[in-house]
Homo-oligomer: A and B are copies of this chain.
């Protein structure tokens, strides 16, 4: 499927997530079939990973290697603890491989906080970027159109300058990976005219309105996300995380409603058979595995976070996301994009408060 001319080497945290190697190993094997230029490094306990490879009749599989790591970061472990005490964790070693240039990206389904803290510590942020952010794509009502939203939980307390950086990074990603020439950027806010947001969004908006090079379209509301009102939606990590979890919650609730309604009795079960093709089609549009693979943006290196509960198909989507970012050389492009925008706007952002007007 891919046409990459050069090998793409990606390190996988084989022990991360709810299922560890049981999901990561088969997903890796599948990925190698998809992408002819892909090389994968499975990072984790070599005995456990080897055993899983044996189970899949894939010992000595081509373009697949193991790098041993003796520790595992727990899903509930504090990032500070993981940083201090888990220096030989599968997560840390996978990120180290990126740092050392032995891999061009890494993918982990492990603890988000630990992943972010470790990635930031090991890889460091790009020049001009104070805080990395988590970005992901969400479905919309517009055909073949996804919306990119950030930050989804890396930064709980943000400054206007942080949000402006998120807008810059989101804009660059939508342009270089999403192939959108001038991606529109919206700032997530509440709907009521009078109170129109807190100081954070007001101050951020004041900066973005004067920012050249970003197609800022102003405030958007929660429901606008799914209408594709903007190509990129920016918010702080607290709001973004609640928004993402709310979306997951509503989708799961609906899935349950549909399932319950169609399995109520033999008649509804028959009805379900009659419309299985339609239900499958709807399910596919909303399949969480199609939306797996959030990126940690703003680092010297590519780090993809898979959902902790990802199945094989979902984890494969996360690997695909990593391949795309490698092919598009996303960190370098973000670095260039950020440098360009910062230079073009150097005079505008010195005193954002001066433009405070209702």
Q: In the complex, what's the smallest C-beta–C-beta distance from A41 to chain B, in angstroms?
A: 26
* Docked CA distance A244–B243 (Å): 9
Chain A 260-295 interface 0/1 with B at a Cβ cutoff of 8 Å (1 = within): 011000001001101101100110011000000000
- Chain B residues closer than 8 Å to A225, beta-carbon distance: 246, 249
Segment with Cβ contacts to B, from A60-68, A233-241, A320-328, A334-342: A233-241
Interface size class of A (residues with CB under 8 A): 35 or more
By beta carbon, the residue of chain B nearest A262 is: B278
Known: A250-B251, A256-B141, A271-B274. A222 touches B244 (CB 8 A): yes
A222 touching B243 by the CB < 8 A rule? yes
B275 touching A194 by the CB < 8 A rule? no
A194 touching B238 by the CB < 8 A rule? no
A198 is contacted by which of B78, B157, B190, B271 (Cβ under 8 Å)?
B157
A100 within 8 A of partner (CB):
no
A153 touching B282 by the CB < 8 A rule? no
Q: Which A166-225 residues have a C-beta within 8 angstroms of B? A: 188, 190-195, 197-199, 221-225
Known: A242-B239, A249-B227, A282-B261. A156 touches B222 (CB 8 A): no
B249 touching A193 by the CB < 8 A rule? no
A132 within 8 A of partner (CB):
no
Segment with Cβ contacts to B, from A14-22, A49-57, A110-118, A121-129: A110-118
A222 touching B241 by the CB < 8 A rule? yes
A223 touching B246 by the CB < 8 A rule? yes
Instruction: With A227-B249, A250-B251 given, name 11 new contacts (CB 8 A).
Output: A77-B193, A112-B192, A117-B194, A153-B191, A198-B238, A223-B245, A223-B252, A226-B252, A238-B239, A254-B286, A268-B277
What are 5 A-B residue pairs whose CB atoms fall within 8 Å in the complex? A113-B193, A156-B190, A224-B249, A246-B246, A268-B278
Residues of A bordering B, CB below 8 Å: 76-80, 111-114, 117, 139-141, 153, 156-157, 188, 190-195, 197-199, 221-227, 235, 237-239, 241-254, 256-258, 261-262, 268, 271-272, 274-275, 277-278, 281-282, 285-286
